[in-house]
Structure 1
Amino acid sequence: MRLFIICLYPTFGQVINVKNKKLAVAIGNRIRELRKKAEMSQEELANEADIPLSQIGRIERGENNPTVSTLYVIADALGSDLKTLVDVTL
């Protein structure tokens, strides 16, 4: 029997499961682009979307797979819609 321990603290490392890295990076870049266009900091976006600041950073760097509901609240916080947020080219 194998035992796997997953630690979620950044100082101890993280397990990141990104199935399509190109897509995750493209969406992260799109979010960063829209955030900067809205003249918002990551902290302001996190507060407006009610998600952790660290999660915004990981999403923008393409390090995780955000859920559709997370993408929706990010789009809403940016004054955009989900379709615009995920309109990316791979």
Structure 2
Amino acid sequence: MSPLDAFWHIANLFAPAWGLAALLALAIKGLWRREAKSLRWPRLWAWGAAGGSAAVILALVLLGRDGRMAGYALLVLGVALPQWWLLSVKR
């Protein structure tokens, strides 16, 4: 595997976590405007992406491979929990 192939392999592993974190951050900023007014979009995205990346790694370790439904459920929790925590702390 070439270095470029390795880069794309790793990027595609984390792409669902980063994309879901971006979508959820946009949804939070759109649906909960007053509650999320003090939170900036990059901060929401970064926390969600970090939690989702950790969830992807944990699912890979626990389940042995990527692409299982339990791994995707863990991914959703990994993205949503840090963003929920940020909203609950700001109140």
TM tier, shorter chain? 0.3 to 0.5
In the superposition, the TM-score normalised over structure 1's length comes to 0.34
- Structure richer in helix, relative to its length: 2
